[in-house]
């Protein structure tokens, strides 16, 4: 049996001190040890991006990152986007935009896209549609065809943008 190693990190602003098997992924520790099950795990090979979280503000595939590599970092998961920890807490602006633009169907990919979009809009609040599309291409969605996801991120960035008009049925 592998000897657990100490791990200190902040998750959604809360400090945690843990002892983890050094072989475990960040996604596994977030979900099982910290109860942050909003992060979904699909392929576990770094392809789909459903497990995307922010580590010190950068989007990472948490299935590929060892938890030990997150020592001393600040991790943000999809749970951080709502106004409070309860499932009924008010949705954050990007979550609301996803809801309003029907940017999810099964929803499995949604936490990853929300964190990807959050990182993009923080760094590049003026990102245009082409840049948003390029960013969204990092993750996989089998349901939506991506158009609504790009609409939702664009509308969150710029009310009045083509994305914000998508509800009128206009093709982008
Ligand atoms: Fe991590 Fe697919 S579950 S990239
Ligand atoms: Fe189903 Fe994206 S909404 S995979």
Query: Does pTM surpass 0.85?
Result: yes
Give the tens place of pLDDT for each residue, 111-124: 999 999 999 999 99
CATH topology of domain 5-81: Ubiquitin-like (UB roll) (3.10.20)
Give the tens place of pLDDT for each residue, 56-95: 999 999 999 999 999 999 999 999 998 766 666 789 999 9
Report the separation in Å between the CA atom of 16 and the middle of ligand 2, taken as the mean of its atom positions. Answer: 31
Q: How many CA atoms lie within 13 A of 166 on its CB side?
A: 26
Residue to mutate, 108, 139, 146, ligand 2, most ligand atoms under 8 Å from C-beta: 108
Query: Strand 74-76 and strand 5-11: pairing?
Result: parallel
CATH topology of domain 93-168: DNA polymerase; domain 1 (1.10.150)
Q: Please give the backbone phi and psi of residue 14, each rounded to the nearest 5 degrees, phi first.
A: -100, 130
| CB distance 50 to ligand 1 below 6 Å | yes
Contact 160, 154 (CB under 8 A): no
Tokens 């789909």 sit on residue = 48
* Ligand having the closest approach to the CA of 51: 1
Q: Domain coordinates of the chain in residue numbers?
A: 5-81, 93-168
* Ligand having the closest approach to the CA of 109: 2
Q: Rounded to the nearest 10 degrees, what angle do helices 147-157 and 93-100 cross at?
A: 140
């Amino acid at each position: 049996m592998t000897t657990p190693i100490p791990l200190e990190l902040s998750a959604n602003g809360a400090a945690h001190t843990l002892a983890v098997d050094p072989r475990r992924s960040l996604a596994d520790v977030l979900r099982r040890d910290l109860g942050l099950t909003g992060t979904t795990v699909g392929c576990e090979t770094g392809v789909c991006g459903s497990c995307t979280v922010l580590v010190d503000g950068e989007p990472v595939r948490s299935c590929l990152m060892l938890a030990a590599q997150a020592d001393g970092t600040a991790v943000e998961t999809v749970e951080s986007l709502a106004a409070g920890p309860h499932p009924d807490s008010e949705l954050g602006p990007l979550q609301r935009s996803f809801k309003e633009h029907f940017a999810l169907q099964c929803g499995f990919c949604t936490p990853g896209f929300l964190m990807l979009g959050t990182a993009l809009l923080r760094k590049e609040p003026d990102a245009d549609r082409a840049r948003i599309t390029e960013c969204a291409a990092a993750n996989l969605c089998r349901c939506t065809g991506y158009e609504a996801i790009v609409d939702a991120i664009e509308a969150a960035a710029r009310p009045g943008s083509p994305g914000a008009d998508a509800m009128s049925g206009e093709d982008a």
